[in-house]
A and B are shown apart, each in its own frame.
Chain A
Amino acid sequence: MAAAVEVHDLQKRYGTLAAVDGIDFTVSPGTVFAFLGPNGAGKTTTTEILEGLRNRTAGTVSVLGLDPWSQGVALHRRIGVIPQDFRFFEKITPKEAIEYYRTLFHTVRDPHALLERVELADKANARFESLSGGQKQKLGLALSLVNDPEICFLDEPTTGLDPHARRSIWAVIRALRKEGRTVFLTTHYLEEAELLADRVAIIHHGRIIASGTPNEIIEKYGGPERLRVEAPPSLASYLTTKLGIPASAEDGRVEIELHSKEDALKVLSTIDASGIPWHGFETRHDTLEDVFVRLVGQMDEGALRSEGSA
Chain B
Amino acid sequence: MNPRRIGADFRITALSYFRNPVALFFSLIFPIILIGLFGLIFSATGTTAVNLAVLNEDHNSPESVAFLHALNETKLVKVQVESVAPSDFSSWLGQNDYPVGLVIPAGFQSNYTSHTSTNVTLFTDPQDASASGEVEFAVTGVANQFNLDAACGSTTCAPIIGIAGASVGSAVYTYIDYLIPGLIGFSILTSPMFSMVDITSSYRKEGIFRELSLTPLTRAEWLTSRILWYTLLTFVTAGIMIGAGAYLFGAHVLITAQLVPFLIAGPFLFVALGMLAGSVARTPESAALIGNIITFPMMFLSGTFFPVSSFPSGLQEFARILPLYYVIDGMNQVMLFSNTARAFTDVVVVLAIALVFFVLSIRLFKWRDE
Contacts and interface: CB of A to CB of B under 8 A. Distances in A.
A125 interface: no
Q: Is the interface of B mostly helix, strand, loop or mixed?
A: helix
Nearest to A147: B215
Contact of B370 (A54, A77, A88): A54
Given A91-B15, A96-B15, A53 B216 contact: no
A103 B20 contact: no
A127 B19 contact: yes
Contacts of B8: 99-100, 103-104
Contacts of B370: 54-55
Contact of B215 (A48, A51, A88, A104): A104
Contact of B4 (A48, A83, A103): A103
B217 interface: yes
Nearest 6 pairs of A and B residues by beta carbon: A103-B8, A91-B19, A87-B206, A104-B215, A91-B16, A53-B368
23 contacts: A48-B369, A53-B210, A53-B213, A54-B368, A54-B370, A72-B368, A87-B206, A87-B207, A87-B208, A87-B211, A88-B211, A90-B16, A91-B19, A91-B20, A92-B12, A92-B15, A100-B11, A101-B215, A103-B4, A104-B9, A104-B216, A105-B215, A127-B19
Contacts of B207: 83, 85-87
Interface string A61-76: 0000000000011001
A48 B370 CA distance: 11
B342 interface: no
* A77, A79, A91, A96, most chain B CB atoms within 10 A: A91
A82 to B, nearest CB: 10
B5 A104 contact: yes
Interface string A112-144: 000000000000000100000000000000010
A244 B86 CA distance: 121
Given A52-B368, A55-B370, A92-B12, A105 B210 contact: no
B5 A103 contact: yes
A106 interface: yes
Contact of A83 (B9, B16, B211, B215): B211
A89 B17 CA distance: 11
Interface string B17-37: 001100000000000000000
B104 to A, nearest CB: 64
Contacts of A87: 206-208, 211
Contacts of A4: none
Nearest to A91: B19
A83 B207 CA distance: 9
A92 B17 CA distance: 10
Interface of B: 4-5, 7-9, 11-12, 15-16, 19-20, 206-208, 210-211, 213-217, 368-370
A54 B12 CA distance: 27
Nearest to B19: A91
A256 interface: no
A72 B218 CA distance: 12
Contacts of A76: 213-216
A73 B367 CA distance: 13
Interface residues of A, number: 31
A53 B370 CA distance: 8
A183 interface: no
A4 B16 CA distance: 38
Chain A CB within 10 Å — which of B9, B19, B207, B211 has the most? Answer: B211
A153 to B, nearest CB: 9
A81 interface: yes
Nearest to B7: A103
Contacts of B16: 89-92
Nearest to A77: B216
Contact of A54 (B11, B15, B19, B369): B369
Contact of A89 (B12, B216, B217): B12
Interface-central residue, A54, A85, A104, A105, by most chain B CB under 10 Å: A104
A103 B368 CA distance: 22
B368 to A, nearest CB: 5
Contacts of B216: 73, 76-77, 104-106
Contacts of A81: 214
Nearest to A73: B216
B356 to A, nearest CB: 26
Given A89-B208, A100-B9, A100-B11, 9 more contacts: A54-B369, A54-B370, A76-B216, A83-B211, A86-B207, A89-B12, A91-B20, A96-B12, A104-B215
Contacts of A85: 207
Contacts of B215: 76, 101, 104-105
Contacts of B208: 87-89
Nearest to B208: A87
B20 to A, nearest CB: 6
A195 to B, nearest CB: 27
